[in-house]
Amino acid sequence: MSLRINDIAPDFTAETTQGTIRFHDWIGDGWAILFSHPKDFTPVCTTELGYMAKIEPEFRRRNCKIIGLSVDPVDNHARWAKDIEETQGYLPAYPMIGDPNLEVAKLYNMLPAEEPGTSEGRTPANNATVRSVFVIGPDKRIKLMLTYPMTTGRNFDEILRVLDSMQLTAAHKVATPVNWKHGEDVIIAGSVSDDDAKTLFPQGWKAPKPYLRIVKQPG
């Protein structure tokens, strides 16, 4: 069965570039991002993992761990990391899961519709894990899922933006509008009555429509 938003993220034990982990234990009491890439020593993946290495401190500042995954073995990840540092200027300091038996890839439905079924014979053309991103909350539930085709590199600045939104809306009864960025105005959640909103937002709000109540970002 496919995973859905608010499902408990499947737990697993796996080998990584930083040793064996039990996923839920590794997450701890913070947030986590699990992202897969198709294959080591390939061009788009090299740029993606290098950029994640660059902005990893931003995730850490938000109490969010990041972990990568592909169907390649851990030894390949370690060798490839040197190429990433050489070409992108940043060495991945986050763990990368080796999943040659596709156990985690299948658990998280990271495989495309047509794939060989094992890691044998995989190439950049027929390769397994698509570019999936899972954001997981402190309650171990899936908060966001994104999947990109193998030919399109992801926008990880967008993942940071969404994380900011989810952490804000988890703490306050608000939602964030289109293209919102940290510090901009937000929208009072539709589940909040006007009477309750007067208590929660005593500074008041703008309401071009009764259902569209705009306030300054709280916190």
Give the Cβ contact number of residue 50 at 10 Å: 20
Instruction: Report the Cα 11 to chain-centroid distance in Å.
Output: 16
**Distance between CA atoms of residues 64 and 33, nearest Å:** 7
Active-site residue, from 45, 53, 69, 168: 45
**Distance between CA atoms of residues 58 and 80, nearest Å:** 23
Assess contact for 147 and 131: CB atoms under 8 A: yes
For this structure, is 45 an active site residue? yes
Cβ neighbors of 208 (< 8 A, separation 6 or more) are: 214
| CA dihedral (146, 141, 182, 168) positive or negative | positive
Assess contact for 130 and 150: CB atoms under 8 A: yes
**Distance between CA atoms of residues 48 and 179, nearest Å:** 22
Strand order in the sheet with 174-175: 174-175, 186-188, 212-215, 206-209
**Distance between CA atoms of residues 134 and 219, nearest Å:** 26
Which of the residues are catalytic? Answer: 45
